[in-house]
Amino acid sequence: MSIPRVIIFNKPFGVLSQFTDKGSEGSARPTLSRFIDEKGFYPAGRLDRDSEGLMVLTDHGPLQARISNPKYKLEKTYLVMVEGTPNEQALEALRRGVTLKDGITRPARVEISAPPEDLWERDPPVRFRKSVPDAWLSVTISEGRNRQVRRMTAHVGLPTLRLIRLQVGNWNLNQLRPGAWRFASAEGA
């Protein structure tokens, strides 16, 4: 039996979380293959094209399933820039779980966060409106529905402007810059 190998990757904004852009012959949309040339690795879960941050890739099918399958309740932590000013009612709704079209979400850990000091610039930049305040939240969920964090914050009146995944299980970005990757221990799940 082979020892699982793991790559952690800081996915930049606009990159598809797959190695090919099937069905879009000649597409200029960047994929993981632009950044990672190691063979035999596959993403363990997805990160939307308009989201940034940590992706975990592995060459081991059972580990990939453990990371991505919601039944294992592997926690994922995000830094989320939202439009508006969060109030305690909105935060408490997220903490209890909100009802989306595909059912009630599991309770999330949500805290207001200070604006990050050393965060990389995004290209293109987040739209800025002087008349509408924004805020940063730290959001930890234990499931991974399609665009879940964005749908949750929108549900409580705080549309997401920028979403950065910082951690999956015990794996985290640390100082990994956008587009960079490194090998990691398989002990994160």
Catalytic annotation, residues: 48
- Amino acid in position 33: S
Question: For 148-170, b where at least 16 C-beta lie within 10 A, e where not — what string?
Answer: bbbbbbbbbebebbbbbbbbbbe
CA 114 remoteness from chain centre: 19
Nearest residue to 101 (alpha-carbon basis) of 141, 146, 69: 146
**Which token pair is 74?**
């592997």
Which residues are paired to 113 by β-bridges? Answer: 136
Give the separation between CA 178 and CA 40, rounded to whole angstroms.
22
**Which token pair is 110?**
């949500």
Q: Phi and psi for 45 in degrees, rounded to 5?
A: 100, 175
C-beta of residue 32 within 8 angstroms of C-beta of residue 49: no
